[in-house]
Amino acid sequence: MKKHSFLLAFGFLAMAALLITSCSKDDNGTAIEFKDKSVNDKLVSMFPAFSNVEVYSLISSDDVLPGSPDFIFGAQPDGAGLLKDPNSDGYIMLNNHEIHRAVSRVMLDKTFTPISGEYIVDGDGGMTRLCSATLATFEEHGFGPIFLTAGESGADSRVHAIDPFGPASDKKRTDRVVPALGRASMENAVPLPKDAYPGKTVIVIGEDAGNGQVVLYVSNTVGDLNNGSLYFLRRTNQDPVETNMAVGQTYDVEFVAIDNASTATGAEIEAQAASKLAIQFARVEDLDYRKGGGANSRELYFVATGQLGQVGKTEWGRMYRLIFDASNPLKGKLTPVADGVKDPGNDLINPDNVCATENYVYIQEDGDSYYPDAKHDSYIWQYNIKTGQYVPFLTMDHQRNNPAFNSKYNTTGETRFGCWEFGAMYDISDIIGEPNTFLCNIHPHTWQEEKFLNSDGSGVSNNKEGGQVVILRNVPK
């Protein structure tokens, strides 16, 4: 009986431990611990229909990392990527910090706990705001690893190509831009997977301007970022007006060459877009390709974030599907698949980032100052590729009726819907060996403290917001 009682007690203790911390083994047998890693509150919550999705805090601006106690995880984490650390059994996480024009590198141990951090691009090196980004890897894209981070804050902004393993002493370098990808107020530069067009490098770029473009770079050499050609997206009937395309209707499109793309100024490229009748979108923000390989690799989703009161432009924001021709990346079919105008303020509001999986697209909102009539906080919507329906998946958790929360995270007095935004959401399942696991970045703009000022050390930005990254587990793919 005593032995039996001991076994029962041991069993209960083991079950309790599982309830406290969810541990598992990745491909190398290292223990990944799914639990809150940050001292800060989780700033998001799931909708009831997705209550099985687990949310854990990973890192926030209040966290003091043991290996670098002076490091501050800065404001507005946007574009991001994760890879295995080749020198340890841990991981390396990269994050753009948009307003700081910077890129941080955080080292995580084998349990997926942040242990140190530094900036590998600071405000001087970034030059312009760094928004979305793509980590190109040899396994997925045929070249890399290289962190392609797009500059956005003017027509002469560039795409940077950053070595994720490069020394932090290079953070002020301004010579890592890629001239062949042109000049524009760019949001992301997304290489298609290596099986989309074998033997080629094909990169799709979104321009976040009032007359925004979808731009294509094509090289006949894998990994070549210097010698390819650049093109604008336009309809074959050469109608440049965005709202002349209806949701659910499909349109023939082509890509037309940009002259002197490597040397032309941003203004010259903008003039070419107008004269060549490229489609004039309302601020093309993020782009992502459907996962699953094969034909899916040539199926791209992107968002036009919208501008209120602009004739011929989406106002509340749209998402598009672009299917490239199987044999020629310069041809395709374009379909608007979602538009917030059908229920203004309740539907899509300022879609900013996208994350495409095999069966869904997760649309992340930035309900910013363009949208004073927003009726909900910023959402992530789950768009079902098969049915075309989309439903709320995740929401910001402002806790406006919680005085203690308000005194910490809502310090600016701004309480309107949509005043926080989402950054990157991306799949890390294969990297950590855990299915259906994603990271998601949070911009809680009303969380401001003096100690967050100058987090990258450059002195370029006077922003003092906090930022956060959360882990999402059991995400439908």
Q: Say whether pLDDT at 444 is over 70.
A: yes
Cα–Cα nearest to 420, from 399, 390, 392, 450: 399
Tens of pLDDT, residue by residue over 182-195, are 999 999 999 999 99
In this prediction, residue 25 carries a pLDDT of 54
The whole-angstrom separation of Cα 102 and Cα 206 is 20
User: Please, are residues 213 and 192 in contact by the beta-carbon 8 Å criterion?
Assistant: no
Q: Give residues with Cβ within 8 angstroms of 288, minimum separation 6.
A: 190, 300, 301, 302, 354, 355, 356, 361
Report, in angstroms and rounded to the nearest whole number, the Rg of the chain calculated over CA atoms.
22
H/E stretch holding 15 reads: helix 2-20
State what percent of residues in the chain have pLDDT above 70: 93
Domain 2-473 has CATH 3.40.50.1820: no
- Share the mean pLDDT of the chain: 93
- Residue ranges per domain, the chain? 2-473
Instruction: List the alpha helices (DSSP H) in 197-278.
Output: 266-275
In this prediction, residue 22 carries a pLDDT of 53
Mean pLDDT of 404-424: 92
Residues 272, 273, 278, 281, Cα dihedral to 10°: 180
- Tokens (6 digits) for 140: 């997925």
- Tokens (6 digits) for 274: 């107008």
Mean pLDDT of 417-429: 95
- State the pLDDT confidence band at 19, using cuts at 50, 70 and 90: very low
User: Both ends of the chain: CA-CA distance in Å?
Assistant: 48
Mean pLDDT of 292-307: 96
In this prediction, residue 434 carries a pLDDT of 96
- State the pLDDT confidence band at 11, using cuts at 50, 70 and 90: very low
User: Please, are residues 313 and 307 in contact by the beta-carbon 8 Å criterion?
Assistant: yes
How far is CA 218 from its chain centroid? 23
Q: Give residues with Cβ within 8 angstroms of 5, minimum separation 6.
A: none
Indicate the SS3 state at residue 244: helix
In this prediction, residue 12 carries a pLDDT of 34
Count of C-beta atoms within a 10 Å radius of residue 27 = 11
Q: Say whether pLDDT at 167 is over 80.
A: yes
User: Please, are residues 436 and 477 in contact by the beta-carbon 8 Å criterion?
Assistant: yes
Tens of pLDDT, residue by residue over 94-104, are 999 999 999 99
